[in-house]
Amino acid sequence: MNNTNVSRTPSIDQDILNRIVREVFERINLTVPSKEPEKKETENVVYDSINPKRIPVGVSVRHVHLCKEHLEKLFGPGAELDHLRELYQPGTHAEKQTVALIGPKTRLLEKVRILGPLRDRTQVELAKTDAIFLGIDAPLRISGDIKGSAPITIIGPKGVVELDEGCIRAMRHVHMNPKEAAYFGLKNGDKVKLRVGGPNAVTFENMVVRVSDNVRLEVHLDTDEGNVADIGCGKDVEIIKD
Ligand SMILES: [Zn+2]
Protein backbone atom coordinates (compact mmCIF):
# COMPACT_ATOMS: atom_id res chain seq x y z
CA MET A 1 0.00 0.00 0.00
CA ASN A 2 2.90 2.33 0.77
CA ASN A 3 5.32 1.02 -1.82
CA THR A 4 5.41 4.37 -3.56
CA ASN A 5 6.77 6.20 -0.57
CA VAL A 6 10.19 7.39 -1.73
CA SER A 7 11.35 8.69 1.63
CA ARG A 8 11.88 5.18 2.99
CA THR A 9 15.08 4.50 4.81
CA PRO A 10 17.02 2.03 2.65
CA SER A 11 16.68 -1.46 4.02
CA ILE A 12 19.63 -3.22 5.59
CA ASP A 13 21.77 -5.45 3.45
CA GLN A 14 20.41 -8.96 3.81
CA ASP A 15 23.79 -10.54 4.63
CA ILE A 16 24.44 -8.03 7.39
CA LEU A 17 20.95 -8.55 8.74
CA ASN A 18 21.37 -12.32 8.73
CA ARG A 19 24.66 -12.06 10.58
CA ILE A 20 23.23 -9.71 13.18
CA VAL A 21 20.17 -11.90 13.63
CA ARG A 22 22.42 -14.91 14.23
CA GLU A 23 24.44 -12.99 16.79
CA VAL A 24 21.33 -11.79 18.55
CA PHE A 25 19.90 -15.30 18.60
CA GLU A 26 23.08 -16.57 20.20
CA ARG A 27 22.94 -13.88 22.80
CA ILE A 28 19.24 -14.42 23.49
CA ASN A 29 19.80 -18.14 23.91
CA LEU A 30 22.66 -17.50 26.31
CA THR A 31 20.46 -15.33 28.45
CA VAL A 32 19.08 -17.32 31.35
CA PRO A 33 15.37 -16.40 31.65
CA SER A 34 16.33 -14.05 34.33
CA LYS A 35 16.52 -14.15 38.05
CA GLU A 36 17.87 -10.64 37.62
CA PRO A 37 15.57 -7.94 38.94
CA GLU A 38 13.36 -6.52 36.21
CA LYS A 39 13.92 -2.86 35.55
CA LYS A 40 10.89 -0.68 36.09
CA GLU A 41 9.49 0.18 32.70
CA THR A 42 7.08 2.75 33.96
CA GLU A 43 7.22 4.79 37.08
CA ASN A 44 3.88 5.81 38.38
CA VAL A 45 3.03 8.19 41.12
CA VAL A 46 -0.54 7.74 42.15
CA TYR A 47 -2.66 10.20 44.01
CA ASP A 48 -6.06 9.67 45.58
CA SER A 49 -8.14 12.39 44.02
CA ILE A 50 -7.92 14.88 41.22
CA ASN A 51 -5.58 17.69 42.06
CA PRO A 52 -4.41 19.71 39.05
CA LYS A 53 -1.14 20.36 40.84
CA ARG A 54 -0.44 16.70 41.51
CA ILE A 55 -1.04 14.66 38.40
CA PRO A 56 0.24 11.07 38.20
CA VAL A 57 3.00 10.66 35.66
CA GLY A 58 4.15 7.59 33.77
CA VAL A 59 7.52 7.71 32.06
CA SER A 60 7.42 5.25 29.17
CA VAL A 61 10.62 3.47 28.32
CA ARG A 62 10.97 2.47 24.63
CA HIS A 63 8.54 -0.36 23.91
CA VAL A 64 6.68 -2.31 21.25
CA HIS A 65 2.98 -3.05 20.72
CA LEU A 66 2.46 -6.13 18.55
CA CYS A 67 -0.29 -7.42 16.32
CA LYS A 68 -1.12 -11.13 16.56
CA GLU A 69 0.63 -11.98 13.28
CA HIS A 70 3.89 -10.35 14.33
CA LEU A 71 3.74 -11.88 17.82
CA GLU A 72 3.67 -15.32 16.21
CA LYS A 73 6.35 -14.40 13.71
CA LEU A 74 8.70 -13.21 16.44
CA PHE A 75 7.91 -15.78 19.12
CA GLY A 76 6.64 -18.78 17.15
CA PRO A 77 3.24 -20.10 16.05
CA GLY A 78 0.64 -20.06 18.82
CA ALA A 79 2.69 -17.65 20.95
CA GLU A 80 0.72 -15.62 23.44
CA LEU A 81 1.55 -12.58 25.52
CA ASP A 82 2.92 -13.56 28.92
CA HIS A 83 2.17 -10.90 31.54
CA LEU A 84 5.03 -9.64 33.65
CA ARG A 85 2.92 -7.08 35.50
CA GLU A 86 -0.03 -4.76 35.22
CA LEU A 87 0.50 -1.17 34.17
CA TYR A 88 -1.34 1.80 35.64
CA GLN A 89 -3.88 2.02 32.80
CA PRO A 90 -6.57 -0.67 33.20
CA GLY A 91 -6.15 -3.71 30.96
CA THR A 92 -2.56 -2.94 29.96
CA HIS A 93 0.47 -5.01 30.86
CA ALA A 94 4.22 -5.15 30.52
CA GLU A 95 4.87 -8.58 29.06
CA LYS A 96 7.71 -10.95 29.85
CA GLN A 97 8.63 -11.03 26.15
CA THR A 98 11.26 -8.66 24.81
CA VAL A 99 12.67 -8.08 21.33
CA ALA A 100 15.69 -6.41 19.79
CA LEU A 101 15.34 -3.41 17.48
CA ILE A 102 17.67 -2.57 14.63
CA GLY A 103 17.80 0.40 12.31
CA PRO A 104 19.90 1.54 9.35
CA LYS A 105 23.04 2.03 11.45
CA THR A 106 22.90 -1.72 12.28
CA ARG A 107 23.05 -0.84 15.94
CA LEU A 108 20.93 -2.89 18.26
CA LEU A 109 18.63 -1.98 21.10
CA GLU A 110 18.13 -5.18 23.04
CA LYS A 111 15.56 -6.29 25.60
CA VAL A 112 12.91 -3.88 24.41
CA ARG A 113 9.72 -4.67 26.32
CA ILE A 114 6.47 -5.77 24.67
CA LEU A 115 3.41 -4.02 26.07
CA GLY A 116 -0.01 -5.65 25.85
CA PRO A 117 -2.73 -6.08 24.87
CA LEU A 118 -2.25 -6.98 21.22
CA ARG A 119 -3.17 -4.29 18.71
CA ASP A 120 -4.37 -4.29 15.12
CA ARG A 121 -1.06 -2.83 13.95
CA THR A 122 2.44 -3.25 15.32
CA GLN A 123 3.91 -0.04 16.72
CA VAL A 124 7.36 0.76 18.07
CA GLU A 125 7.70 3.74 20.42
CA LEU A 126 11.12 5.28 20.91
CA ALA A 127 12.52 8.31 22.66
CA LYS A 128 14.52 10.71 20.49
CA THR A 129 17.77 9.39 21.97
CA ASP A 130 16.81 5.84 20.96
CA ALA A 131 15.91 6.98 17.45
CA ILE A 132 19.24 8.78 17.03
CA PHE A 133 21.10 5.73 18.31
CA LEU A 134 19.38 3.49 15.76
CA GLY A 135 19.58 6.05 12.95
CA ILE A 136 15.82 6.20 12.55
CA ASP A 137 13.93 9.37 11.75
CA ALA A 138 10.93 8.51 13.93
CA PRO A 139 8.15 11.08 13.59
CA LEU A 140 6.31 12.57 16.55
CA ARG A 141 2.84 11.02 16.56
CA ILE A 142 -0.18 10.28 18.68
CA SER A 143 -0.08 6.56 19.46
CA GLY A 144 -1.94 4.61 16.78
CA ASP A 145 -1.26 7.16 14.03
CA ILE A 146 1.47 5.27 12.23
CA LYS A 147 0.69 5.85 8.55
CA GLY A 148 3.89 6.91 6.80
CA SER A 149 5.93 6.61 10.01
CA ALA A 150 9.45 5.19 10.08
CA PRO A 151 10.49 1.68 9.10
CA ILE A 152 12.25 -0.51 11.65
CA THR A 153 13.33 -4.13 12.05
CA ILE A 154 12.18 -6.16 15.07
CA ILE A 155 14.09 -9.29 16.04
CA GLY A 156 12.57 -11.97 18.25
CA PRO A 157 13.80 -15.38 19.32
CA LYS A 158 11.92 -17.15 16.51
CA GLY A 159 11.86 -14.64 13.69
CA VAL A 160 12.29 -11.18 12.29
CA VAL A 161 9.69 -8.57 11.35
CA GLU A 162 10.71 -5.81 8.97
CA LEU A 163 8.17 -3.02 9.35
CA ASP A 164 7.68 -0.61 6.45
CA GLU A 165 6.12 1.81 8.92
CA GLY A 166 5.20 1.80 12.60
CA CYS A 167 8.11 3.40 14.42
CA ILE A 168 7.19 6.66 16.15
CA ARG A 169 8.04 8.94 19.02
CA ALA A 170 4.89 9.29 21.09
CA MET A 171 3.68 12.85 21.48
CA ARG A 172 3.61 13.84 25.12
CA HIS A 173 0.05 13.43 26.33
CA VAL A 174 -2.29 13.19 29.26
CA HIS A 175 -4.94 10.47 29.50
CA MET A 176 -8.23 11.25 31.18
CA ASN A 177 -11.71 9.81 31.23
CA PRO A 178 -14.73 11.97 30.33
CA LYS A 179 -15.44 12.76 33.98
CA GLU A 180 -11.90 13.97 34.56
CA ALA A 181 -11.98 15.96 31.31
CA ALA A 182 -15.18 17.64 32.47
CA TYR A 183 -13.55 18.45 35.80
CA PHE A 184 -10.72 20.24 33.97
CA GLY A 185 -13.00 21.72 31.30
CA LEU A 186 -10.97 19.97 28.60
CA LYS A 187 -11.88 17.89 25.57
CA ASN A 188 -10.10 15.30 23.46
CA GLY A 189 -7.35 16.89 21.34
CA ASP A 190 -6.92 19.97 23.53
CA LYS A 191 -3.40 20.91 24.47
CA VAL A 192 -2.21 21.85 27.94
CA LYS A 193 1.06 22.63 29.63
CA LEU A 194 2.68 20.48 32.24
CA ARG A 195 4.80 22.07 34.89
CA VAL A 196 7.29 19.90 36.74
CA GLY A 197 8.80 21.35 39.90
CA GLY A 198 12.05 20.58 41.67
CA PRO A 199 15.66 21.59 40.99
CA ASN A 200 15.30 20.86 37.26
CA ALA A 201 11.89 22.49 36.99
CA VAL A 202 10.59 22.59 33.44
CA THR A 203 7.31 23.33 31.71
CA PHE A 204 6.31 21.08 28.83
CA GLU A 205 4.02 22.60 26.23
CA ASN A 206 1.77 20.88 23.71
CA MET A 207 0.65 18.08 26.03
CA VAL A 208 -2.17 16.47 24.06
CA VAL A 209 -5.32 15.68 26.03
CA ARG A 210 -6.55 12.18 25.19
CA VAL A 211 -10.03 11.50 26.50
CA SER A 212 -11.37 7.96 26.49
CA ASP A 213 -13.41 5.64 28.67
CA ASN A 214 -11.67 3.14 30.89
CA VAL A 215 -8.53 5.19 31.42
CA ARG A 216 -7.16 6.80 34.54
CA LEU A 217 -5.79 10.30 34.79
CA GLU A 218 -2.13 10.02 33.88
CA VAL A 219 0.50 12.01 32.03
CA HIS A 220 2.70 10.01 29.65
CA LEU A 221 6.19 11.22 28.84
CA ASP A 222 9.08 9.38 27.25
CA THR A 223 12.42 8.82 28.94
CA ASP A 224 14.09 11.85 27.37
CA GLU A 225 11.36 14.09 28.73
CA GLY A 226 11.36 12.34 32.09
CA ASN A 227 15.12 12.60 32.41
CA VAL A 228 15.34 16.27 31.54
CA ALA A 229 12.88 17.07 34.33
CA ASP A 230 14.12 14.47 36.84
CA ILE A 231 10.58 13.24 36.81
CA GLY A 232 11.40 9.99 38.56
CA CYS A 233 10.93 12.06 41.69
CA GLY A 234 7.36 12.57 40.50
CA LYS A 235 6.26 15.49 42.55
CA ASP A 236 4.64 18.83 41.87
CA VAL A 237 3.50 17.90 38.40
CA GLU A 238 0.90 20.38 37.40
CA ILE A 239 -1.45 20.74 34.45
CA ILE A 240 -1.79 24.31 33.23
CA LYS A 241 -4.56 25.23 30.82
CA ASP A 242 -3.71 27.76 28.13
ZN1 LIG B 1 -0.32 7.08 26.86
In sequence order, what DSSP letters do the residues of 51-110 get, joined into one string?
Answer: -TTS--EEEE-SEEE--HHHHHHHH-TT----EEEE-SSTT-EEEEEEEEEE-TT--EEE
Residues 205 and 138 in one domain: no
Residues 70 and 161 in one domain: yes
Q: What is the pTM of this model?
A: 0.81
The residue range of the domain holding 124 is 61-170
Residues 179 and 164 in one domain: no
Q: How many whole angstroms from 195 Cα to the centroid of ligand 1?
A: 18
Residues 163 and 180 in one domain: no
Q: Domain ends where: 138, 170, 202?
A: 170
Q: Domain ends where: 170, 196, 230?
A: 170
Q: How many whole angstroms from 235 Cα to the centroid of ligand 1?
A: 19
* 117 cis-preceded (ω within 30 degrees of 0): yes
Residues 96 and 110 in one domain: yes
Q: How many whole angstroms from 170 Cα to the centroid of ligand 1?
A: 8
Q: How many whole angstroms from 108 Cα to the centroid of ligand 1?
A: 25
Residues 237 and 182 in one domain: yes
Q: How many whole angstroms from 64 Cα to the centroid of ligand 1?
A: 13
* pLDDT at residue 12, as a whole number: 66
* pLDDT at residue 27, as a whole number: 61
Q: Domain ends where: 125, 153, 170?
A: 170
- Report if residue 9 sits inside a domain: no
* pLDDT at residue 49, as a whole number: 65
- Report if residue 28 sits inside a domain: no
Share of the chain above pLDDT 70, in %: 81
Element (H, E) at 164: strand 160-170
Q: How many whole angstroms from 188 Cα to the centroid of ligand 1?
A: 13
- Report if residue 5 sits inside a domain: no
d(C-alpha 128, C-alpha 171), whole Å: 11
Which of the residues in the chain have pLDDT under 50?
1-7, 29-48, 233
Q: How many whole angstroms from 220 Cα to the centroid of ligand 1?
A: 5
Residues 129 and 194 in one domain: no
Asked if 126 and 134 count as a contact pair (C-beta separation under 8 A), the reply is yes
* pLDDT at residue 51, as a whole number: 80
* pLDDT at residue 24, as a whole number: 67
* pLDDT at residue 98, as a whole number: 98
| Beta strand pairing call for 191-196 and 160-170 | unpaired
Q: How many whole angstroms from 89 Cα to the centroid of ligand 1?
A: 9
Residues 189 and 157 in one domain: no
Residues 223 and 187 in one domain: yes
Q: How many whole angstroms from 165 Cα to the centroid of ligand 1?
A: 20
- Report if residue 86 sits inside a domain: yes
Q: How many whole angstroms from 160 Cα to the centroid of ligand 1?
A: 27
